[in-house]
Structure 1
Amino acid sequence: MQPHTLPLAAVGIITAMLTGLVACTSPQPTEPTEQTTEQRQQDRPPASVAADLGRVEIDASCTLNARSRIEIGTAQLHHMWYTKARESFQKAAAADEDCAMAQWGLAMTYYTPLWAKPYPEDLEAGARAAQKAADLGGETPREKAYIDAVAAFYDDYENRSHEERAKAFEEAWKQAYEQDPQDVEAASFYALAMLSTIPPTAEDVDTQRQAGAILEDVLDQEPNHPGGHHYLIHAYDNPQLASEAVEVSRDYSELAPAVPHALHMPSHTFTRLGMWDESIEWNQRSEEAARRNPVAGMDYLDLYHAQDYLTYAYLQEARDTEAEKVAQRAKEAQNPQPHTASAYASIAIPARLALERRDWQAAANLEPLHPETIEWEKWPYIEGIKHAARAVGLIELDELDQARVELDKMAELQQASAEMNEPYWNGQLQIYQNVVRALLADAEGNTAEALAGLRDAATSQEALGKHPVTPGRVIQASEVLGETLRENGQAEEALEVYVEALDKRPNRFRAVYGAAVSARAAGQGDVARDYYNQLLDLTAKSDGDRPELKEAREFTAVGGGASSSAD
């Protein structure tokens, strides 16, 4: 199915209508009036389709006005549009003070599975709403199950770990799902909860497949369900599964053409598959939609998240000028939200620009896009990326003493990170330190030590997997290993490393180029020519002057040779 593109004017109108509208299949909201439970049951409308949000069905025991808001809010929850969803549930609560499901929805907005752990103030607000929902009480078995599910996450939050509460949330949604397997809302939230309890240090294909099967069944029952689309992309966000999500990725953008995160989500699949044109298209639209909506434009996962993915994709096609423009727009954006995603993008974007293009001076002098407005002490494991990029640049510039200073700073941040229960990010920072140590060893002539360290770093990084917040690591240890092997006369082994890396991450510029140069150094002219041609195809839209492309053109023009003069 081909992606559907709306005129900008039409999208603007849709965006303005998102909150407070439902499709013509639902009656228009009216002002709340005093109603008995029996009256509320009698005027219940059929399941609604929120305007350009997808089809949801909650059927809450509340006034007509509140029910309409709850269905919109639930659709927004499925899009992870938490700021908008909170507004919708607050309006539902104002429309019907006795509506337990409005409070259920409010509690749901303070937990953001797959993103980051709630801050203490969010836990407190979510727990208040969950308790109020429980006090009001659900009037149907379904409502009771939903309220129990959100209560399971907030129960005793001051004394239980996030992991314990996330698992309780999953188990409670499992009970709601098993109570009625045909309930697509419960099925969707159960699948999301399953994905959110996969350890962040591993990509659990079995659990991802299990969640995916539930979500495929959701879409069989309701093809326009937002959670079915969104969470299925997350379920298959894995090198082994991504190809199974191409169709649903394209469909999702049609389902919600004005929701920034819905426009971004297909790029998770396209990034895994190295489909850079598609990733660029959807992240462009996501960034534009975020800018058109003042609330979403300030939302960390809408604007900065799309900009990081967009920068990454442009760099793989050597569209360096376009990547620089994205970085400038990200730098000019105001008030980045205090969240992992905005902090990460602030450092990852300039680091990618420097390291992917081998601009060692820029790497050595790296600064985040928002050095003053982000409280970096909250994210020492992300601040460490800045020092890792600086260290790599300094080593390449043969400023080894200064590189050791950056390494010491990484060790300090690692110690601060150890106090935080963030195994993925802490693990990634440790890997970056190991890469820097290995490069220092290589620069000092300790080749065996360097290669052993890089092999360990590459293995650890592959085992760690990829976090949803990032399109790819800022430093790919396997590529550093391949380059170090080749520079130390082990071109054939380097080629094997690059081939394996490309199997997991297709069409990465540095890996394709590394494979070409390694094959050339190993005397495999035909193989080198194939990879050089692949690089030229990959960068057909290049707007920069990378020397690698000149090398590729010269090699392919003369038919290739056996030796390498690269680097």
Structure 2
Amino acid sequence: MRTSACVLALSLAAAGPAIAQDHVHAQGAHGGLGTVVFPNSGKTAAQADFIRGVAHLHSFGYRDAAIAFRAAEKADPGFALAYWMEALTHRHPLWGQEDLPAARLALSPLGASSQARVARAKTPRERAWGGAIEALFAEGKEVDRARAFADSMRRIADSDPADLEASAFAALGLLGLGAQVGKGITADDAIRYAENVFAKNPKHPGAAHYLIHAFDNPVRAEQGLPFAREYAKIAPDAEHALHMPSHIFLQIGAWEDVVASNERAWAASRAWAKQNNLDNAVLDYHSLTWLQYAYLQQGRFRDARALIDTARTLMASGPANARYSLWDFWFQYASASGDWKSVSVADPLSVDEAPDAGAAFPLPDMVQAGVAAVSRGDSARAARILSLLKARRATAVPGSYSNNGYEMGVALIAGGIARLRGDQLGAIAFYSAGADIEAKGSPAGPPIIPPVLLPYGNLLIANRMHSEAVRAFERELLLRKNHSASLLGLARAHRAQGNPAAAMQAYRQLLENWKRADADYPPLREVKAGASSSPGIILN
């Protein structure tokens, strides 16, 4: 068959010389998706849809990508790569989501078996791609399938570094594997592949996107800042590309940038849903939760609370969203504001059943419900949730991410119960154990399991352990840079310790965060006074 201008060029090392590549820009109904070069053996009629689908896939626009790949399949029913790429739209590795039956169904028109499907590829390189994707959706444990895909894509990319799509998907494969085995294990290799793509095609949507994910941790975030600044420019019509830069902005505490990114992303999500006549369940509540978190860091509590009403209205008028609920917005607001009573939201779980009923509840929901019970003074309910949490902890692998989450949750709730009972030393001991676990972590995004170091530091101040409190807040600020509540705690600890210069520095940094804060927010007076050269302040 004649190869099109988008022929899958650059064969494996043993397959002969490379075929010249032509640049194809992803445009169309969702233009502004970046520049993708993916030579292949498909018919010319299938190329625009196929390239558009790949561009959407790199920006995690899974629904639009699937539509584009199906259009490419219709234009060229024998175009094997289109089916394999459609299957990838049913796996969202960095979101912890996979619809394996849907992925296999997408592959079924191509052939009844993996061998039959791979045999339909028209070039050695396309057969290699097919083998990698077939391995991802074969039988077996998810971690083994993810490793097989990542290893296969690495081999394809290593055979020809000029094949930028292979490098891009190798980076994605490694990040997906990292989500299974630990991000730090695969991040350096993912960065290497993605940087190769970015250096040769700085308009590639996947390169900047995957580099942001790879650098999304407190230690390396500054290295991701150039890519965060570029990604929204590369793919301005991809809603996720508008949100993703805020992963880096949040890590460095650039709250104005976090707000700007997510206001744009949320508006784009609303427009996209309206344009496609979709219900509210598909809206990007992820961006909305990040926007609320940034508002809270800025002291904009009215704006943050208003988003609860926004979510309530949207969620009430359509099907439920599987990833987010009204509780997520309420808990984030209440834990930052201390207002646990003025807004009424249904609790996400019931703990009146047998202890093993807790197996059905997500870990964050259990911890949040326990923290809410403590904050409302309901020690009996908190104790029931603690029992469920301990039972779940007993089944977790020691040292694993989930086990650490259980340990932090137990520390938060047990410490809170001890505090309610007046056992200050007991509460300090629980919080201290949880804080040590938290300090070893590498958080990304707004915390779904509340920080332990924050209540630990505040409790240390209350017990006049000021040096220890300073250390607790400093540890939290290493994990969450420029975090407003931690800055407030640090300033208070320094002040109580008798270090007014250090207190003033913390207050001034916080005041910069709060330059748009609600004028009547009570701690604002304290912060303004502490940031000035005036010697006296009032601690609330």
**One fold, TM greater than 0.5?**
yes
Change (3 A) 1:482 1:347: same
- CA deviations 1:270-323 (Å, max 9, x no partner) are 000000000100100000001001259758786111001101101001011111
CA distance in 2, matches of 1:477, 1:229: 33
Q: Which residue of 1 aligns with 2:363?
A: 381
Deviations 1:172-228 (A, max 9, x none): 111111221111111011111111222568551x63233212211211111111110
Aligned to 1:149: 132
Q: Whole-Å Cα distance in 2 between the matches of residues 296 and 207 of structure 1?
A: 39
User: What CA deviation, in whole Å up to 9, does each residue of 1:59-103 have, x standing for no partner?
Assistant: 221211212211110111100111110000111111111111111
Contact 2:90–2:100 under 8 Å retained in 1: no
1:500-511 pair list within 5 angstroms: 500-511=475-486
Evaluate the alpha carbon distance shift between residue 65 and residue 302 of structure 1 in structure 2; reply closer, same or farther with a 3 A threshold: farther
Matched, 1:266 2:245: yes
Q: Secondary structure in 2 aligned to 1:313?
A: helix
| Equivalent residues of 1:300, 1:342 under 8 A apart | no
In the alignment, structure 1 residue 281 sits paired with structure 2 residue 260: yes
Q: What is the Cα deviation at residue 259 of structure 1? A: 1.2
Cα distance, 1:153 vs. partner? 0.7
Q: 1:463 aligns with which of 440, 447, 472?
A: 440
- CA apart distance, 1:165: 0.9
AA at the equivalent of 1:102: A
The separation in 2 between residues aligned to 1:164 and 1:480, in whole angstroms, is 40
Structural mapping, 1:105-504, within 5 Å: 105-125=85-105, 128=108, 134-135=117-118, 137-156=120-139, 160-198=140-178, 202-204=182-184, 207-294=186-273, 295=276, 303-334=284-315, 335=318, 339=322, 341-343=323-325, 346-361=326-341, 366-367=345-346, 380-395=362-377, 399-408=378-387, 410=389, 414=392, 424=401, 427-466=404-443, 470-504=445-479
Contact 2:415 2:430 in 1 (8 A): yes
Query: 2:396 touches 2:403 (CA, 8 Å); kept in 1?
Result: no
Quick check: 1:229–1:249 contact (8 Å CA) kept in 2? yes
TM-aligned CA distance change 1:336 to 1:538, over 3 Å? farther
Q: Does residue 64 of structure 1 match 2:39?
A: no
1:94 correspondence with 2:77: no
Please list, as runs of the form range in 1=range in 2, the aligned pairs for 1:552-567 lying within 5 A after superposition: 552-556=527-531, 559-561=534-536, 566-567=539-540
In the aligned structure 2, how far is the partner of 1:437 from the partner of 1:155? 43
Whole-Å separation in 1 of the counterparts to 2:399 and 2:56: 27
Give the number of equivalent residue pairs. 509
Q: Distance in 1 between matches of 2:266 and 2:376?
A: 34
8 Å Cα contact 1:153-1:165 kept in structure 2: yes
The aligned counterpart of 1:534 is 509
Q: Distance between the aligned counterparts of 1:101 and 1:169, measured in 2?
A: 15
Structure 1 residues 328 and 110, CA, compared in 2 at 3 Å: closer, same or farther?
same
In structure 2, relative to structure 1, the CA distance for the partners of 1:378 and 1:77 (3 Å cut) is farther
Provide closer, same or farther for how the CA distance between residues 169 and 264 of structure 1 changes in structure 2, counting only shifts above 3 A: same
Q: Distance in 1 between matches of 2:37 and 2:43?
A: 15
1:555 positional shift: 3.9
* Residues 394, 402 of structure 1: 8 Å contact kept: no
- Code of the aligned partner of 2:65: A
Q: Shift in Å at residue 545 of structure 1?
A: 2.7
| TM-aligned CA deviation for residue 330 of structure 1 | 2.1
Range that drifts further, 175-184 or 111-120: 111-120
CA contact (8 A) 1:290 1:296 kept: no
Give CA-to-partner distance per residue, 1:135-194, whole Å, 9 cap, x none. Answer: 5622122211111111111111xxx11111111111111111122111111101111111
Cα deviation 1:528-567 (Å, max 9, x = unaligned): 1221222222100012532221222344457235xx8635
Kept in 2, the 8 Å contact 1:502–1:508? The answer is: yes
TM-score (norm 2): 0.86
Percent identity of equivalent pairs: 26
**Higher deviation after alignment, 98-107 or 499-508:** 499-508
Instruction: Give a deviation string over 1:383-420, Cα, whole Å, max 9, x none.
Output: 3144123223124xxx43343244345557x47x9599
- With over 3 angstroms needed to count, the CA separation of the structure-2 counterparts of 1:169 and 1:301, relative to structure 1, is farther
Contact 2:143 2:181 in 1 (8 A): no
1:543 aligns with 2:526: no
Which whole-Å CA distance do the structure 1 matches of 2:450 and 2:340 have between them? 13
Q: 1:366 to 1:520 in 2, by over 3 A?
A: farther
Contact 2:349 2:366 in 1 (8 A): no
Given that 1:58 and 1:70 are in contact with CA atoms closer than 8 Å, whether structure 2 keeps it comes out as: no
Q: Which runs of 5+ in 2 are unaligned?
A: 8-20, 351-357
Find the aligned partners of 2:397 and 2:321 in 1 and give their Cα distance.
Answer: 17
Q: TM-score, normalised by structure 1?
A: 0.82
Q: Structure 2 CA distance, aligned partners of 1:377 and 1:90?
A: 39
Within 1, Cα distance between the matches of 2:106 and 2:397?
Answer: 22
Whichever residue aligns with residue 128 of structure 1, its letter is: S
Give unpaired runs (5+ residues) of structure 1.
Answer: 1-36
Q: Is 1:50–2:26 an aligned residue pair?
A: yes
Q: CA–CA distance in 2 between the matches of 1:370 and 1:302? A: 24
Q: Does 107-116 or 78-87 show the bigger shift?
A: 107-116
Amino acid at match of 1:170: A
**1:77 corresponding residue in structure 2:** 57
Match of 1:114, SS? helix
Q: Structure 2 vs 1, CA of residues 181 and 210 (structure 1 numbering), >3 Å: closer, same or farther?
A: same
Change (3 A) 1:350 1:91: same
1:255 CA drift (Å): 1.2
1:463 & 1:457 partners in 2: Cα distance? 10
CA distance in 2, matches of 1:433, 1:263: 36
